[in-house]
Amino acid sequence: MRAHVIGNVAVDETISVSTMPEAGASILGREETRDLGGKGANQAVVMARAGLPTALVAAVGEDFRAQTIRDQLAPEPVEAKLVALAGRSSDFSIIFTTPDGENAIVTTTESAGSLTLEEAIAALDTAAGDLLVLQGNLSEATTRGLLQEARRRALVTAFNPSPLQPYFVDLWPLVDIAFLNRGETQSLTGLSDRTATERLLQSGVRHVVLTLGGDGAMLASQGREIATIPAVATNVIDTTGAGDTFMAVALASAALRGVELDTRAIGHAAAASALTVSRRGTRSAFPTADELRAILTR
């Protein structure tokens, strides 16, 4: 099985602040890191480091950030298929992080939102049973069209509905695996925790993973009892990229073992994300290939 991640890639600039700024306020901050980011790139890099053959399809502009993105992706084991868009700016994020590890993120999506369905499909080289991974940064037409194309090609689809868009509620019959946090499930279903996962299963999703922060995660699958997997205790420094690490490792763990998503995969994901939140940065905070190898053998 190969993973095909179609999403965004960005340059992340992390600024350390004592408190989050309020409207109209000017505060002092300190630049901590400038790193590769974007949910699509994050998930692709972590899956590839975990040993799952992974391709990333993402759009970039024609600017200095595009070269930074290429340079940052070059040493990674991911197959990067970057679509250069004339007259566009590459996407970037400004991340505010506080001493307690919480963050707020402002992200541009000009390039990701401009990637057409035709451009995305042209970059796909799939076989039946491969994994297609999507997030919420593409346009509605591209996201919906890719999920429909995945059904036609007999691909397994994994979807992380972030950032939230209203039309996501219509996509569940096309999604095999959904990864959401509490806020996202509340917004998309009007329900919380167990009842929210049950609603998503009724909507056609085969596996629902609900991340609960320090309370762990919940795995709900068609025909199985809902399982709760505890979080791994750690010293939280920076939560940037934790959700992407979690999703990527869970998918890689199951795929590498040739099984459907299970509690062992969620346990591996919890261990990997605990490493990510204990470090500052985005790509630089992700577990290394050696660390992931050790986790996945547990």
Per-residue model confidence as pLDDT tens digits over 173-205: 999 999 999 999 999 999 999 999 999 999 999
Length of the chain: 298
pLDDT at 147: 98
- The SS3 assignment for 256 reads helix
Separation of alpha carbons 147 and 121, rounded Å:
11
Reported pTM: 0.93
pLDDT grade for 21, boundaries at 50, 70 and 90: confident
Per-residue model confidence as pLDDT tens digits over 111-166: 999 999 999 999 999 999 999 999 999 999 999 999 999 999 999 999 999 999 99
pLDDT at 138: 97
pLDDT grade for 230, boundaries at 50, 70 and 90: very high
pLDDT at 281: 81
| Of 172 and 298, more confident | 172
Helices (H), the chain: 39-49, 64-73, 110-114, 117-122, 140-152, 182-189, 193-202, 242-257, 263-277, 289-296
Which of 183, 118, 111, 171 lies closest to 140 in space, CA to CA?
171
